[in-house]
């Protein structure tokens, strides 16, 4: 019984390592090239943004491996293929002129920087509920991408994803990097017409779904106002409730 379990565990481990290895490299450009070859990066806009944002400035351990990594405070930087996927789904709304973008659970800061680099006229807000992670994101961005902070094109600050950012213009793109039990209503309200929210939804320990919500109109009827699409099964840390 124990031997069987051991063999199965070793097999699973070897598959995981093999999958990660497919998109592993020892440089940022090598990682991007691998993601492109594996058809995960599909557009020049996403490719350029990821080439210009060296993941080595955002994570200490194995930055060029296609796997999530710990960044402290019980948080992880998502795997590069998930970042590439989110950027691809949101590309059309990130690249509208003067786009307003919100990255919730900014964590390492990496994704918010990629978003800013996809559109020179965009303004990106990155928020996180953990002050230590806001500090980390700012520290990481300062290494090579300080111009984004200095110009005000990227703002990183403390904030709660269940609330979003009130009193601003509506957002063209909202990305949430942590799993919510249900769709946070304020985020739906803060979407511009034509704008998209990408958010993992589901309980911890259960299969979560990455969901895309597109705002179609201001109609009071949810089904007329929003188009909801289930994208794929995922596993994210929880979008915590600040009681």
Shortest distance, CB of residue 164 to ligand SAH, whole angstroms? Answer: 9
Query: Is the Cβ–Cβ distance between 56 and 28 less than 8 Å?
Result: yes
Q: Which is nearer to ligand SAH, 178 or 199 (CB)?
A: 178
Residue of 25, 78, 151, 233 marked catalytic: 78
Q: Which is nearer to ligand SAH, 105 or 195 (CB)?
A: 105
Query: Is the Cβ–Cβ distance between 212 and 235 less than 8 Å?
Result: no
Residues that bind ligand SAH (CB under 6 A): 75-78, 104-105, 107-108, 110-111, 127-130, 133, 160-162, 177-178, 237, 239-240
Q: Where are the beta strands (DSSP E) in the chain?
A: 69-72, 75-77, 100-104, 123-128, 154-158, 171-176, 191-201, 208-215, 226-234
Query: Is the Cβ–Cβ distance between 225 and 215 less than 8 Å?
Result: yes
Shortest distance, CB of residue 182 to ligand SAH, whole angstroms? Answer: 13
Q: Which is nearer to ligand SAH, 125 or 213 (CB)?
A: 125
Query: Is the Cβ–Cβ distance between 51 and 29 less than 8 Å?
Result: yes
Of 34, 21, 33, which Cα lies nearest the Cα of 62? 21
Shortest distance, CB of residue 14 to ligand SAH, whole angstroms? Answer: 26
Q: Which is nearer to ligand SAH, 162 or 191 (CB)?
A: 162
The question of whether 78 is a catalytic residue gets the answer: yes
Shortest distance, CB of residue 7 to ligand SAH, whole angstroms? Answer: 33
Active site residues: 78
């Amino acid at each position: 019984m124990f031997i069987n379990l051991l063999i199965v565990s070793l097999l699973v481990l070897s598959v995981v390592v093999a999958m990660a290895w497919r998109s592993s490299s020892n440089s940022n450009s090598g990682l991007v090239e691998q993601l492109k070859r594996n058809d995960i990066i599909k557009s020049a806009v996403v490719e350029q943004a990821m080439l210009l944002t060296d993941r080595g400035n955002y994570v200490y351990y194995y930055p060029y491996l296609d796997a999530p990594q710990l960044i402290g405070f019980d948080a992880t930087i998502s795997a590069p293929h998930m970042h590439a996927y989110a950027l691809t789904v949101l590309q059309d709304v990130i690249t509208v002129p003067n786009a307003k973008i919100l990255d919730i659970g900014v964590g390492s800061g990496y994704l918010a920087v990629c978003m800013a680099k996809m559109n020179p006229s965009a303004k990106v807000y990155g928020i996180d509920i953990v002050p230590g992670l806001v500090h980390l994101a700012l520290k990481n961005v300062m290494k090579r991408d300080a111009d984004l902070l200095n110009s005000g094109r990227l703002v990183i600050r403390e904030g709660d994803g269940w609330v979003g950012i009130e009193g601003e213009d509506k957002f063209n793109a909202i990305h949430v990097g942590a799993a919510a039990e249900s769709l946070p209503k304020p985020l739906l309200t803060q979407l511009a017409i034509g704008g998209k929210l990408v958010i993992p939804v589901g309980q911890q320990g259960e299969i979560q779904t990455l969901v895309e919500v597109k705002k179609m109109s201001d109609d009071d009827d949810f089904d007329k106002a929003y188009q909801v699409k289930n994208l794929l099964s995922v596993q994210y840390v929880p979008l915590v409730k600040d009681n």
